[in-house]
Each structure stands twice: as structure tokens, then as C-alpha cells.
């Protein structure tokens, strides 16, 4: 970026204070503008200034987060040119951006791959280039992620390359293959670009041509480094492995060398590249890797990017004044200027300063360019000098090695001459040793023959092993892993056989060569002996005889050596035949291996087709389940408007349990959906969760509609609409599951929201008497039982006081009646007290046997409905005892009615029955306390009956009955009395009917306040029976309005009236 060295103080003073948010907004804005200008649909090359701003942005934020946040929003599938320029900018960002850019790009590999796959399937000229470019970028990202020692710019010293390659041949081999692949994609992109540049587009100054050629600048930079690293690694491989093993590497390198040389030549001839990049020249022929000294002749290709000419920059880039920070001062300045006029001289000074700064920048830029060009020229000259000096050093090293070799040869010749001189002195002794050497030669021949026979036996064993291996291959065709293992064993054995054969052939050839050398040495020795003997003929006839014997022996040795040479030639022919047979067997084995590989490929393709079929079948099963679930939900939603469903009712408690179960089923459904999205081969979890969700949701909708029939109008309308919304949201969710595109984004948030709405409405419709915290239930049970016991004790005490008072104030029949009534009430209270104590003991037994490790309060809270029934029953017993005492007091004082005492007896008997029923719910049948409780219950009923009987008998004794004497009445008076009596009977019957209706309405209101909304057995919604006139049954408990009622766990609920 262009910058200015100093900014005037006046300009600095006009800058406003920037906050971090404002700076970030300005940075995002600048990046967005640069990205939109660099990546567009215009068929023109990317401007360097826009790409440079994007690269500087990555260094500013130490990553490519902002770049990718805007890049993923580009409409790449809509334009191939847009995708091509995106790849170009991404390539530049990878090469020159911050090092963290590589990690950011790794996270968006899928976006790059999708773009390449999309354009690869379309027959578009730019689309084919985009497909290849994306593959190159993916290979580049993968290589640098795997080898972080290489930066994306590929500029590392040779020491780092040596350290990365290491000393392990396998690592060097693998790194070389990866560099070959990397360079292949670079060259493939360049070839595709040049292939599209036909004769009509050959002019490189056209914008359409430059749009295609611009990315090749980065390709040239990458190729120069990749070529250098490949050459280094190839020389290192040839120093570790034999040349035959690396024949494939050499062929691949030669092909890439020709392609790269052709690419550099074409690019060098184009005018477009001449002003942007200095392309290096490659040697005429590729390096000779078989000659280690050729590494010194290799010259690293250097790419030079000349400093580009300054482009037109916007004025706002020279002086960084934030638009956001100066908006308010600018508005103030405009108002001031409109009122008083602009200040004198300020604007002119600033313009002059800007102009002077621009001139300074231009001068500095020109100087910088000159310095860079001179530095580049010096660098190239120094590199050339270094290369020439390295060549001279290598040449001097070669001459030194040659001189050393010549010196060694002269030393060997001198030693040979000395040995020849010594041999001439020992000529006579050698004649005697010739016989020994001849025998040694025969012994060596026999050993060679034995080794040859061993070689034949080894070859036969290898043939048998080869046959066994072939049988094993045919047997294990069904297992892919065993085939691979057998293939590796076979290749290893074949390689071992080859190596053993080669080693044995080399040993035999070495032995043959040694025999030949020894024979040649013997011949030379014999010739020297013959010459010495010819000179010594004058010494005497004995020496001549010895010489003739030696000649004879020499002829014998020659014949034996010739025979041995013939035998060796025949043995060599046999060995060659065995090698030919072995190579044929190896070819046959390789063909069989290829056939097995073909079969494995067929099996893998069949497995893929079966896997795809399984996925389709699983999706079909899911669709069928979704359709069934939709039918279930539609049927439930249809019942909201069904007139036949109006008479069906349900309780808020049952609706609450159904809605809670439906809400809990959404968790299993979400889990099954996540498992199916992760692995679409198994839809069992999602199908089961869908079935459960559909049934529970439909049950919630139906029971919500049934509950709304007994709810107030406002709550009923809200509940109906919420149930309808629940059905619609569930159907929308199921609709998303039917499409593969929307399957992954289907969510249950709306469904959970409406189910929670149903739960809230059901909670509002619950009876207010049940709004007790769960943790308070245990304490309330103990309090209510204690208060009931106290009420009974108080009632017994009051009855005793009334007994003593009646004895003091009354006498005769009244005293007898009062004593009998009060004694029966006292017996009833004692029976009730015994029942309450037995019920308390039974409850303690139930809690101790059922709570486990939990506390008593936790047990009562867990069984809240049973606990509420106990509380309601104990309240009813205490209230009944109090009412019985008050009624007895009024009867004794002659201020009450005997009927009140009878009704209270009935009510207290019903209340104790409710307490017994609530206690029996969770008790075991074999419990002793349960038997005692049942006996106490029967005793209470008997005592209540005694109270009723004593009350009725006392009432009959005290009331005076008038004698009916109608003898003195005339016919007309009797008729009149009869009519008056009929009128009074009709009035009493009408009053009785009205009181019965009133009693029914009172009981209805009592049930409504106690929380009864037509609850049936097991909480199922059934049509509520119509009230029957004239049949009025008393409820199981007589309690004050507002008190709770026994719940479903505490016994049967009261029937409908």
C-alpha cells in the first residue's frame, strides 16, 4: 500500500476519535468494497490494488475471516467468470496473505469443492477452468496443511527442504510423489488456459484473454519452486535407491519437464507477461539423475516480479479520515459555512499540503522502484556468479578425484612391477605349487557344481511355493483383506526369489571371474617359468627334463580348464532358462492379481449400489411413516370441528399428562432426526419416534378439545386455537421431513412452543385447590392428620361437658334421651379416633416401605395425587366431627333439629370411608394395619348407625303425637279439611322438589370448586351423562366449599349428577 511519511498536524487535529467499533466497521466496509471490485462478472483481470487491499486486510486481522464472510455470500453458481476471479483472488490470498489464512481456508474446503463440482458438470469454457482451478486450490491447501514447513508461497531454503525430507527413504519417496501431484495440477491449469486461447483470442492485450492469463502468474511462481524441490528430492532418492526402482519417477519427471518448459516458452512469448513477471529459462535437457555430479550443474529457477506502475488511488486512501467519525463535524462545519461563510485560507492550505504530499510520495515511489530494480539486478548478477563459482568448484572437485584415481593406478602398477620382479625369483617354487593350485581348482569346481544343484533345488521349491500361493489366491477370493495380504506375500516372495537368484548369479559370476583371473595368472606364471627354463637349458639335462614334464602338465591343465569352461557355459544356459521360466511365472501371477483386483472393484461397485438402495428404502419407509403420522394428526385436527365430538369431555389433569408426554416425545424425535441426518442408512430411531410423537400429539389435540367443552368460554377458545396451531405446526414439521433438501433443517422449536402453550392452559384450568407446592405436601399430610386428631379429642371433651350439663338441667324422659344420644356420639368419636390412629400407622408403613432412599417429604411429593387425597379425606373427617358436636349441642339445648344430627352422622361415615379408601390405595393386601383399618371402618359405620337409631328413638319419645278424632265433624267440614290437607301436601311436595333441585345445584358447585370436570376412570374422555332429575345421591364426602377432593390415586371420583 502506498503511504505517506508525515501528516500535517492540522490534518491530524481534524481527525475525530475512533472507537474500536468504528474502526471495525470502516475495515469491514473497505474489505467489502475491495472484494466487490476484485470479484465481479466483468471479463477483465483482477486489479492488483484491490487484491493487495484484501491481502493487507488478512494481515490486519491475522486471518481470512472477513474475506470468507463476504466470499460465501457471492453468487458463484450464477456466473463462471465470477467463480474464476474468486479462485484467482483466493490463490493470491493463500500465497501472500497471513499464515492463518491457510487454516481459515481449510474450514471452507467444502464450499470450494462444491463450486468446482458444479461448474465441472456444465459445458462452459470458464466452467471447465473453474473446475480445474478448484482442484488445484484443494490440493494446495491439503499439501500445506500436511506439511506446515512449506508456506503457501513455497519459499523455503534448501536446509528446510532437507530437514523436512529427513533420512527415511519412505518419507522422501512420499514427499516426491506429493510434489509431482502438486505440479501436475499446476501444469494442467496452464494447459487448459492455453488450449482455450485459439487464434481469434491470441492477442494477449485483450481484456478477455488477460482475464484467463492473470492467474498464471501465481502458477509460474508455484511451478518454479516445485520444479526446484523436485530436482533436489530426485537426486536424494537416486543416492538411496537403485536406478531401476526409480524409473517411473524419472519418466514422470521428464514428462513434467517437457510440459513446464513448453509452458514457460509460451508465456515468455506473450507481451502480457513481459511487463508483469520475469520468467526463468529451463535447461535444454532434464538433469541426469544417474550422475550424482549433475546436481552441481542444476540452477534454481528464479521468478522476478518487477514493481508495478503506481495505479490511480482514491484520495481517501492517502489520508485515512473515517467517514463515520467525521460525519458530525462535517454537518457542523456546513452549517457554520452557510451562516458565516468558509474560513479564509484553511481549505487552500490543506489542498497545498495534499499536493505537496502527493509529489513527495511520487518521488519516493520512483526512488523505491529504482532501488528495487538495482537490487534485483544485483541479486541476479550475484546468483549468476554463485552458480559459475559452484560450477568451477565442481570441476576442480572432478579433477581432484581424477588425479587421485591416476595416482592410485600408478601406485598399483608400481606394486605390480615389484611383484613381477619377486615372481621371477620364485619361478621354481611356483612350478611345485602349480599342482596344488590345480587340485584346488578341481575342488572349487566341485563346490560350484554343488551350488548349481542347490540353485536348481531352490528354484523348484519356489515353483512349488508359487503354485501353493496361486491356490491360496483362488480359495480366498471372497475376502478383500486376505487377497491384499496374499498379494503382498506373493510380491514379497517373488521379489525375494529375484533377489536370491540375482545374488546367486552374481556369486557365480564372481567365482567364474576369479577362476578366470587365477587361470590367467597361472598361464602368465607358466609362461614366465617357460622363459626362465629356456634360459636355463644350459644348466643341465635335469632342468630340461623338468621343463618337459611341466609342459605336459600344462597341457593337461589347459584341457581341464577348457572342459570346466564348457561346463560353466552350459550351467549359465540352464540358469538363463530358469530365469525365463521364473519371469513367465511372475507375469502369470501378476495377471491373476489384476483379475482379482477387477473382481474386487466389481464387488465394491455392487456394495455401493446396495448401499444406495438401502438408503432409498430407508427414505421410503420414513416417507410412509410421515404420511401415516400426517393422517393421524389431520384426523385429530378434524375432531376440533366435529359436532359429534362436542359431548366428549376430559379433565385438565389428564390433558396436562398427555401434553407433557407429547412434549417429552419431541426430545426422542429430535435425537432420532439427528441420528438419521448423521447416518441415513438407519431410520429406525426416527420412525419409532415419529410414530410415538404423532400418537401423543393427536391424543393431546383430542383431549384438549374435550377439555375445552367444560372450560369457560375464553379458555375454551384459546385452548381450541392452541390445539389447532399445534396440529398445523406438527404437519409443517412433517412436511419438511418429506423432502431431502429440507430434511436436515427441520426443527421442533415451533412444535414445542405450542405444546408448552397447551400445558400452560391446562395448568390454568386445573382446580385452584390443587395449587400446592410439591415440597409442602408431606408437611400438610402430617398437619392435617394431627389437626383431625385434635378435632376428635376436642369433640369428645365437648360431648362429656354436654353430658354433665344435661344431667344438671334436665330430668326424666329428656335426660334419658339426651344421655342415650350423647353416649352414642361419644362411642362414634372414640371409633373415629381409633380409625384415625390406625390410618396414621398404615400411612407410616406405606411410606417406609415405598420411599426407599428418599425422605418422607420426597415420597409424598412424588405421589402428589395420593397425598392430596389423604389431605382432603382428613379435612373432611375433622370438619364432620366438629359439625356432629355442634348439632348434638343444639339438640340437647332444644335449639336444633334431630335431622341435623342424622345428616351429620351420614356425612362423618362417608368422610371416614373416604379416608379408608385413600389409605388402602397404596397398602399391601397382607398388611396387618390394613386389616385393623377395615375393622375400624366397620366399627365406625356401626357407631354411626347407633347415633341415627338413638336419635330417631329419642325423637319419637319426646314428640307428642296428637290423636286424630274426626267423629264430631260434619261431611262438609271433613271435605274442607281434606282439601286443605291435599293443598298442604302439594305445597310440601313442591317445596321438597325445589329443595332437591337446590341440593343438586349445590353439589354441582361443590364438585366444580373441588376440581371435578367429569373425570372418568383412567382419565379417558367420554361423553358426560345427562343429569337425571329426581335421583340425587350424596357425595362421598361432605366438606366446606373450597376444600380439596380425593384424587384418582386416592379412590374413585364422584359420579356426574
The three state secondary structure string of 210-234 is HHHHCCHHHHHHHHHHHHHHHHHHH
CB 278 within 8 A of CB 304: yes
Q: What is the pLDDT of residues 190-230, one digit of tens each?
A: 888 888 875 444 455 678 888 888 898 889 988 988 888 88
Q: Which residue has the cell 592410485?
A: 408
Statement: residue 473 has pLDDT above 70: no
What percentage of the chain reaches a pLDDT higher than 90? 4
According to the model, what pLDDT value does residue 565 have?
Answer: 76
Helix (H/G/I), strand (E/B), else coil: 313:
coil
Beta bridge partners of 304: 278
Q: What is the pLDDT of residues 918-953, one digit of tens each?
A: 777 777 777 888 888 888 888 888 888 888 888 787
How far is Cα 72 from Cα 638, in angstroms, rounded to an integer? 45
Mean pLDDT within 957-973? 65
Helix axes 812-850, 864-892, angle to 10 degrees: 170
Statement: residue 471 has pLDDT above 80: no
Statement: residue 328 has pLDDT above 60: no
CB 92 within 8 A of CB 51: yes
Which of 542-546, 688-692, 717-721 bottoms out in mean pLDDT, i.e. has the lowest? Answer: 542-546
Statement: residue 728 has pLDDT above 60: yes
CB 1045 within 8 A of CB 1010: yes
Q: What are phi and psi of 298, to 5 degrees?
A: -75, 135
How far is Cα 1032 from Cα 387, in angstroms, rounded to an integer? 120
According to the model, what pLDDT value does residue 680 have?
Answer: 79
How far is Cα 924 from Cα 929, in angstroms, rounded to an integer? 10
According to the model, what pLDDT value does residue 534 have?
Answer: 63
Mean pLDDT within 163-181? 85
Which of 9-13, 370-374, 498-502 bottoms out in mean pLDDT, i.e. has the lowest? Answer: 9-13
Mean pLDDT within 106-132? 85
The three state secondary structure string of 724-737 is HHHHHHHHHHHHHH
**54: which residues sit within 8 A by CB, 6+ positions away?**
31, 34, 35, 38, 67, 89, 92, 93
Where residue 726 falls among pLDDT bands split at 50, 70, 90? very high
Long-range contacts of 565-572 (CB under 8 A, 24+ apart): 567/445, 567/449, 568/448, 568/512, 571/448, 571/452, 571/508, 572/508
Mean pLDDT within 1012-1023? 36
Q: Which residue has the cell 357407631?
A: 943
Statement: residue 698 has pLDDT above 90: yes
Q: What are phi and psi of 345, to 5 degrees?
A: 90, -15
Cell numbers for 807: 344431667
| pTM confidence score | 0.35
CB 1014 within 8 A of CB 710: yes
Q: What's the CA dihedral at 315, 316, 318, 324 to 10 degrees?
A: 160
Statement: residue 773 has pLDDT above 60: no
Mean pLDDT within 381-409? 76
426: left (phi over 0), alpha (psi -120 to 50) or beta: alpha
**Among the listed residues 711, 955, 687, 974, the one whose alpha carbon sits nearest the alpha carbon of residue 821:** 955
According to the model, what pLDDT value does residue 308 have?
Answer: 53
Mean pLDDT within 31-57? 88
Helix (H/G/I), strand (E/B), else coil: 311:
coil
- The neighbour count for residue 83, using CB atoms within 10 Å, is 27
How far is Cα 951 from Cα 817, in angstroms, rounded to an integer? 8
CB 389 within 8 A of CB 490: no
DSSP 1055: P
**Greatest distance between any 2 Cα atoms in the chain:** 212
CA distances from 844 to 782, 854, 855, 859, 873 (A): 10, 14, 12, 11, 16
Mean pLDDT within 376-388? 78
Mean pLDDT within 516-538? 70
Report CA 120 to chain centroid distance, whole Å. Answer: 28
CB 80 within 8 A of CB 119: yes
Q: What's the CA dihedral at 837, 839, 840, 841 to 10 degrees?
A: 90
How far is Cα 1036 from Cα 1056, in angstroms, rounded to an integer? 12
Statement: residue 336 has pLDDT above 70: no
Mean pLDDT within 46-71? 88
How far is Cα 380 from Cα 300, in angstroms, rounded to an integer? 12
- Total residues belonging to the chain: 1057
Helix (H/G/I), strand (E/B), else coil: 363:
helix
Which of 820-829, 859-868, 887-896 bottoms out in mean pLDDT, i.e. has the lowest? Answer: 859-868
CB 1049 within 8 A of CB 850: no
Cell numbers for 290: 544417474
Q: What is the pLDDT of residues 559-569, one digit of tens each?
A: 777 777 787 77
The string of DSSP codes covering 965-1013 is: --TT--HHHHHHHHHHHHHHHHHHHHHHHHHHHHHHHHHHHHHHHHT-S
3-state helix, strand, coil in the chain (%, to 5): 80, 0, 20
How far is Cα 486 from Cα 468, in angstroms, rounded to an integer? 11
Mean pLDDT within 242-265? 87
CA R_g for the chain: 56
CB 529 within 8 A of CB 427: yes
Q: What is the pLDDT of residues 590-601, one digit of tens each?
A: 888 888 888 888
**Among the listed residues 356, 358, 513, the one whose alpha carbon sits nearest the alpha carbon of residue 448:** 513
| Average of per-residue pLDDT values in the chain | 75
CB 639 within 8 A of CB 1021: no
Output the CA angle 292-258-250, nearest 5 degrees: 40
779-815 exposure pattern, b = at least 16 Cβ within 10 A, e = fewer: ebbeebbeebbebbeebbebbeebbeebeeebeeebe
Statement: residue 837 has pLDDT above 60: yes
CA distances from 495 to 155, 240, 739 (A): 40, 19, 56
**728: which residues sit within 8 A by CB, 6+ positions away?**
637
Statement: residue 156 has pLDDT above 80: yes
**Among the listed residues 64, 70, 61, the one whose alpha carbon sits nearest the alpha carbon of residue 27:** 61
Within 851-863, residue ranges assigned H as helices are: 856-862
Statement: residue 327 has pLDDT above 50: no
Q: What is the pLDDT of residues 603-625, one digit of tens each?
A: 888 888 887 888 888 888 888 89
Where residue 700 falls among pLDDT bands split at 50, 70, 90? very high
Identify the residue with better confidence: 421 or 759: 759
Q: Which residue has the cell 341415627?
A: 948
CA distances from 80 to 50, 84, 93, 384, 483 (A): 20, 6, 20, 44, 46
Amino acid at each position: 500500500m502506498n503511504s505517506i511519511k508525515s501528516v500535517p498536524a492540522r490534518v491530524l487535529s481534524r481527525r475525530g476519535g475512533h472507537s474500536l467499533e468504528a474502526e471495525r466497521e470502516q475495515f469491514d466496509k473497505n474489505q467489502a468494497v475491495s472484494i466487490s471490485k476484485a470479484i465481479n462478472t466483468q471479463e477483465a483481470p483482477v486489479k492488483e490494488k484491490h487484491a493487495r487491499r484484501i491481502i493487507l486486510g488478512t494481515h490486519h486481522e491475522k486471518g481470512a475471516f472477513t474475506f470468507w464472510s463476504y466470499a460465501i455470500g457471492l453468487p458463484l453458481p450464477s456466473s463462471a467468470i465470477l467463480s474464476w476471479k474468486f479462485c484467482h483472488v483466493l490463490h493470491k490470498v493463500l500465497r501472500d496473505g497471513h499464515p492463518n489464512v491457510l487454516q481459515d481456508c481449510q474450514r471452507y474446503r467444502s464450499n470450494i469443492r462444491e463450486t468446482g463440482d458444479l461448474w465441472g458438470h456444465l459445458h462452459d469454457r470458464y466452467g471447465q477452468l473453474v473446475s480445474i482451478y478448484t482442484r488445484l486450490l484443494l490440493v494446495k491447501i491439503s499439501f500445506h496443511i500436511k506439511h506446515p514447513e512449506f508456506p503457501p508461497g513455497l519459499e523455503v531454503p534448501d536446509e528446510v527442504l532437507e530437514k523436512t525430507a529427513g533420512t527415511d527413504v519412505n518419507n522422501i519417496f512420499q514427499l516426491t510423489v506429493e510434489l509431482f501431484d502438486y505440479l501436475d495440477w499446476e501444469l494442467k491449469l496452464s494447459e487448459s488456459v492455453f488450449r482455450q486461447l485459439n487464434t481469434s483470442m491470441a492477442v494477449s492485450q485483450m481484456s478477455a484473454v488477460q482475464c484467463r492469463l492473470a492467474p498464471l502468474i501465481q502458477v509460474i511462481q508455484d511451478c518454479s519452486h516445485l520444479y526446484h524441490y523436485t530436482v533436489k528430492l530426485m537426486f536424494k532418492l537416486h543416492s538411496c535407491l537403485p536406478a531401476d526402482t526409480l524409473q517411473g519417477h524419472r519418466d514422470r519427471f521428464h514428462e513434467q519437464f517437457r510440459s513446464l518448459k513448453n509452458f514457460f516458452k509460451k508465456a515468455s512469448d506473450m507481451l502480457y507477461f513481459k511487463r508483469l513477471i520475469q520468467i526463468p529459462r529451463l535447461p535444454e535437457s532434464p538433469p541426469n539423475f544417474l550422475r550424482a555430479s549433475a546436481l552441481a550443474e542444476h540452477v534454481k529457477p528464479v521468478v522476478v516480479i518487477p514493481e508495478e506502475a503506481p495505479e490511480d488511488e482514491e484520495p481517501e486512501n492517502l489520508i485515512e479520515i473515517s467517514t463515520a467519525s467525521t460525519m458530525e463535524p462535517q454537518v457542523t462545519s456546513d452549517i457554520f459555512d452557510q451562516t458565516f461563510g468558509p474560513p479564509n485560507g484553511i481549505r487552500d492550505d490543506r489542498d497545498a499540503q495534499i499536493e505537496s504530499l502527493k509529489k513527495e510520495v511520487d518521488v519516493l515511489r520512483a526512488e523505491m522502484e529504482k532501488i528495487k530494480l538495482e537490487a534485483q539486478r544485483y541479486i541476479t548478477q550475484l546468483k549468476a556468479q554463485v552458480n559459475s563459482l559452484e560450477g568451477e568448484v565442481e570441476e576442480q572437485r572432478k579433477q581432484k578425484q581424477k588425479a587421485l584415481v591416476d595416482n592410485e593406478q600408478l601406485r598399483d602398477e608400481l606394486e605390480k612391477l615389484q611383484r613381477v620382479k619377486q615372481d621371477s625369483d620364485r619361478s621354481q617354487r611356483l612350478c611345485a605349487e602349480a599342482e596344488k593350485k590345480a587340485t584346488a581348482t578341481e575342488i572349487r569346481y566341485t563346490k560350484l557344481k554343488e551350488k548349481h544343484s542347490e540353485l536348481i533345488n531352490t528354484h523348484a521349491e519356489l515353483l512349488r511355493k508359487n503354485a501353493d500361493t496361486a491356490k491360496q489366491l483362488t480359495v480366498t477370493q471372497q475376502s478383500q483383506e486376505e487377497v491384499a495380504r496374499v498379494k503382498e506375500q506373493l510380491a514379497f516372495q517373488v521379489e525375494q526369489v529375484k533377489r536370491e537368484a540375482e545374488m546367486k548369479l552374481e556369486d557365480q559370476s564372481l567365482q567364474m571371474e576369479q577362476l578366470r583371473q587365477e587361470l590367467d595368472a597361472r598361464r602368465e606364471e607358466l609362461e614366465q617359468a617357460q622363459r626362465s627354463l629356456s634360459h636355463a637349458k644350459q644348466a643341465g639335462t635335469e632342468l630340461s627334463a623338468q621343463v618337459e614334464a611341466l609342459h605336459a602338465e600344462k597341457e593337461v591343465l589347459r584341457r581341464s580348464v577348457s572342459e570346466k569352461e564348457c561346463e560353466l557355459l552350459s550351467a549359465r544356459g540352464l540358469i538363463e532358462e530358469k530365469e525365463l521360466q521364473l519371469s513367465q511365472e511372475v507375469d502369470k501371477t501378476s495377471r491373476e492379481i489384476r483379475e482379482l483386483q477387477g473382481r474386487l472393484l466389481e464387488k465394491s461397485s455392487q456394495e455401493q449400489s446396495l448401499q444406495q438402495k438401502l438408503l432409498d428404502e430407508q427414505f421410503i419407509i420414513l416417507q410412509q411413516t410421515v404420511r401415516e403420522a400426517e393422517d393421524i394428526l389431520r384426523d385429530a385436527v378434524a375432531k376440533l370441528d366435529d359436532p359429534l365430538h362436542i359431548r366428549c369431555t376430559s379433565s385438565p389433569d389428564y390433558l396436562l399428562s398427555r401434553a407433557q408426554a407429547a412434549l417429552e416425545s419431541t426430545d426422542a424425535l429430535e435425537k432420532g432426526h439427528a441420528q438419521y441426518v448423521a447416518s441415513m442408512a438407519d431410520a429406525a430411531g426416527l420412525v419409532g419416534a415419529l410414530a410415538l410423537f404423532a400418537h401423543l400429539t393427536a391424543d393431546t389435540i383430542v383431549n384438549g378439545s374435550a377439555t375445552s367443552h367444560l372450560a369457560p368460554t375464553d379458555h375454551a377458545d384459546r385452548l381450541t386455537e392452541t390445539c389447532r396451531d399445534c396440529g398445523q405446526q406438527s404437519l409443517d414439521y412433517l412436511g419438511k421431513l418429506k423432502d431431502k433438501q429440507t430434511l436436515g433443517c427441520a426443527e421442533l422449536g415451533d412444535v414445542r412452543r405450542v405444546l408448552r402453550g397447551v400445558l400452560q392452559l391446562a395448568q390454568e384450568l386445573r382446580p385452584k385447590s390443587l395449587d400446592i407446592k410439591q415440597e409442602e405436601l408431606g408437611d400438610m399430610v402430617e398437619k392435617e392428620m394431627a389437626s383431625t386428631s385434635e378435632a376428635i379429642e376436642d369433640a369428645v371433651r365437648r360431648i362429656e361437658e354436654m353430658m354433665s350439663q344435661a344431667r344438671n338441667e334436665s330430668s326424666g324422659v329428656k335426660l334419658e334421651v339426651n344421655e342415650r344420644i350423647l353416649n352414642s356420639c361419644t362411642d362414634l368419636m372414640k371409633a373415629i379416633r381409633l380409625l384415625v390412629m390406625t390410618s396414621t400407622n398404615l400411612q407410616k408403613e406405606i411410606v417406609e416401605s415405598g420411599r426407599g432412599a428418599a425422605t418422607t417429604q420426597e415420597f409424598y411429593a412424588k405421589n402428589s395425587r395420593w397425598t392430596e387425597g389423604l389431605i382432603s379425606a382428613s379435612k373432611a373427617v375433622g370438619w364432620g366431627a366438629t359439625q356432629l358436636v355442634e348439632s348434638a349441642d343444639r339438640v340437647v339445648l332444644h335449639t336444633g333439629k334431630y335431622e341435623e344430627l342424622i345428616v351429620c352422622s351420614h356425612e362423618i361415615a362417608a368422610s371416614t370411608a373416604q379416608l379408608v379408601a385413600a389409605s388402602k390405595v397404596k397398602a399391601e393386601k397382607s398388611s396387618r394395619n390394613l386389616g385393623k383399618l377395615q375393622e375400624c371402618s366397620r366399627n365406625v359405620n356401626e357407631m354411626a348407625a347407633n347415633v341415627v337409631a338413638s336419635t330417631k328413638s329419642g325423637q319419637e319419645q319426646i314428640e307428642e303425637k296428637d290423636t286424630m278424632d274426626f267423629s264430631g265433624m260434619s261431611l262438609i267440614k271433613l271435605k274442607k279439611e281434606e282439601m286443605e290437607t291435599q293443598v298442604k301436601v302439594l305445597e310440601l311436595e313442591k317445596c321438597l322438589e325445589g329443595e332437591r333441585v337446590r341440593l343438586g345445584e349445590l353439589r354441582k358447585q361443590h364438585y366444580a370448586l373441588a376440581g371435578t370436570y367429569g373425570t372418568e376412570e383412567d382419565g379417558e374422555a367420554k361423553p358426560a351423562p345427562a343429569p337425571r332429575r329426581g335421583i340425587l345421591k350424596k357425595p362421598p364426602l361432605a366438606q366446606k366449599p373450597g376444600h380439596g377432593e380425593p384424587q384418582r390415586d386416592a379412590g374413585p371420583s364422584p359420579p356426574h349428577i
